[in-house]
Amino acid sequence: MRMLNRLRVWQCITRKPSTAVRFVVMMSNTEGPLDTKKSFEDKYFDCAANGNVEELKFLLQATFNPDHRNDKGWTALMFAARHGQVPVVETLLEKGCDVNLVNKTGQTAQDIAVFWDQKNTVNMLTDFIRKENPDKQQRNYFSLNNLDRMAENRKDSCWLESKLKKETTRFIVFSDLKPLVVSSHDSAKRYKYTLVRLAHRDVEFHLKTNPLLVFLGVEMYNPSKDDSSEENVVSQASFALDVTNTDESKFKTLVNEAEFITSYPASMQLEPSDAGIFAEARSMLDWLDRYKFCATCGSSTTVTEGGYKRTCDDKSCRTNKGIHNTCYPRTDPSVIMLVVSPDKKRCLLGRKKQFPAKMYSCLAGFMEPGETIEDTCRREVYEESGVRVGRVDYHSSQPWPFPCSLMLGCIALATSENIKIDNDEMEDVQWFQRSELVQMLTRQHPQGLFVPPDQAIAHQIIKAWVRMTANL
């Protein structure tokens, strides 16, 4: 059996006989029965952690994914970053290892290097990321949407009609705001679901019923794998299609193992690029379903501009004269802020009553008319915790399509420390040391406390502050 495993190594690990011979000899030096996959992984990760560059380069000659992960989601780059093995990090970056991969606790190799104060490794990874993405800003979950919305064409009904019937056009289907998806059976994939995209011929029977339909945008892509010339680039339009009150099986059977999933929390497991499109589609369908009548006079309305406007059917209504926010989709701005103590060594986190047990998060609340982002942060923090806030800095934003909010993430500096909880809304509010936040981010807190997952903007704001204060 052991010899058979060696033969498989010879056949599968590499096409170069000399490399295979050396690999079999190397693996034969291990004690006990030869487990090819486990021995290879262990050797690969050990070389990364211990700084054995030459052996690592040899192993990378094999037909093996350099971004391979262990059962905790760690890659060789992460092990090298953890132990400050700069030459290994340099080698892995040259081999094209992905610096954006995260382990099961949501950490990238750069995050790990920061946590363990491996300054040289941090500098190398930071420089590499800056060169690769010089203009890249924080993009939170639900915010990555590759579609060009082409808002200037929405008023052209002929243009929309031509896109609707085009062979390349795809339809993303929702039933009662539940998206149609397929799930991956690959346990190594971080995200479980992908949106199903149906062709016009698949949904033509339903389009005849005049359903809710939203033009989402156009994406340029090249269907040819052999010829990347611009002549082969085509545009693919995408529409969101509401099939509520229709037999769901008519759509699920079009794609093998397709299913309609509950929007929350299942949508948090969508591929990130699909999550952004889902956010646009669900928010629009939800708005169209909720606001069927004119908010000014109560008359019926007609959907126009590709789903992005409702026009009052009463021509004398004042909403038909000028621009009115009652005719267009609404977005509700809210703030979510990490409050930092006056000495800048602790952060304020709270627990709402509806949170999962032991989860703490940033404080948050909706903006009111006439309020600035900064004033909303100060008001909400004081209302929920009794803590006063001074300076407020913007971090990033996140669409939240349940139903249609825009979360404005901030870091706020407290001017007081005494806590007085709003018992109607909050169950608990506490100051946490940075070391505790690291434990909560990595699910290693001795009391089992944790913060929201990395799909949530709260996680990203907390992680950003932890990274900014690595030397505290």
According to the model, what pLDDT value does residue 3 have?
Answer: 37
The CATH number for 49's domain is 1.25.40.20
Q: Does residue 316 fall inside a structural domain?
A: no
Q: Does residue 243 fall inside a structural domain?
A: yes
Q: Per-residue pLDDT for the chain (472 aa), expressed as one digit of tens each?
A: 343 343 343 334 333 334 443 444 444 444 444 455 557 788 899 999 999 999 988 888 865 678 888 888 899 999 999 999 999 999 999 988 888 777 766 678 998 998 888 999 999 998 898 887 666 678 899 999 999 999 999 999 999 999 999 999 999 999 999 999 999 887 657 789 999 999 999 999 999 999 999 999 999 877 765 555 566 678 899 999 999 999 999 999 999 999 999 999 999 999 999 999 999 999 999 999 999 999 999 999 999 999 999 999 999 999 999 889 899 999 999 999 999 999 999 999 999 999 999 999 999 999 999 999 999 999 999 999 999 999 999 999 999 999 999 999 999 999 999 999 999 999 999 999 998 998 898 888 999 999 999 899 999 999 889 878 755 4
Domain that holds residue 63: 2-132
Q: Does residue 296 fall inside a structural domain?
A: no
The kind and range of the H/E element at 78 are helix 76-82
117, 158: one domain: no
Q: Does residue 420 fall inside a structural domain?
A: yes
187, 259: one domain: yes
Distance CA 367, CA 370 (A): 9
Of 290, 322, 344, the position where a domain reaches its end is 290
361, 248: one domain: no
Distance CA 98, CA 59 (A): 18
375, 277: one domain: no
According to the model, what pLDDT value does residue 472 have?
Answer: 45
423, 457: one domain: yes
According to the model, what pLDDT value does residue 10 have?
Answer: 34
**141: DSSP letter:** T
77, 27: one domain: yes
Bridge partners of 270, per DSSP, are 193
Q: Which residue has the tokens 């870091």?
A: 411
88, 178: one domain: no
96, 159: one domain: no
The HSE-up count of residue 402 (CA atoms within 13 Å, CB side) is 12
Of 290, 305, 324, the position where a domain reaches its end is 290
Q: Does residue 28 fall inside a structural domain?
A: yes
Structure tokens at 151: 């808002």
The CATH number for 250's domain is 3.90.79
Phi–psi pair at 328, nearest 5 degrees? -120, 160
Instruction: Single out the residue of 111, 43, 48, 45 nearest to residue 80, CA to CA.
Output: 48
Distance CA 362, CA 355 (A): 12
The CATH number for 435's domain is 3.90.79.10
User: Could you tell me if 138 and 396 are in contact, meaning their C-beta atoms sit under 8 angstroms apart?
Assistant: yes
> Could you give the number of structural domains in the chain?
3
185, 280: one domain: yes
According to the model, what pLDDT value does residue 460 have?
Answer: 93
Q: Are strands 346-352 and 332-340 parallel, antiparallel or unpaired?
A: antiparallel
419, 388: one domain: yes
Q: Is 336 helix (H, G, I), strand (E, B) or coil?
A: strand
Of 271, 290, 309, the position where a domain reaches its end is 290
155, 127: one domain: no
Hey, which bits of 353-404 come out as E strands?
A: 363-366, 389-400
Q: Does residue 306 fall inside a structural domain?
A: no
Bridge partners of 221, per DSSP, are 234
Q: Does residue 280 fall inside a structural domain?
A: yes
Angle between helices 17-28 and 36-50 (to 10 degrees): 90
User: Could you tell me if 331 and 404 are in contact, meaning their C-beta atoms sit under 8 angstroms apart?
Assistant: yes
127, 162: one domain: no
According to the model, what pLDDT value does residue 17 have?
Answer: 39
How many residues appear in the chain?
A: 472
Max Cα-Cα span within the chain = 88
Q: Does residue 304 fall inside a structural domain?
A: no
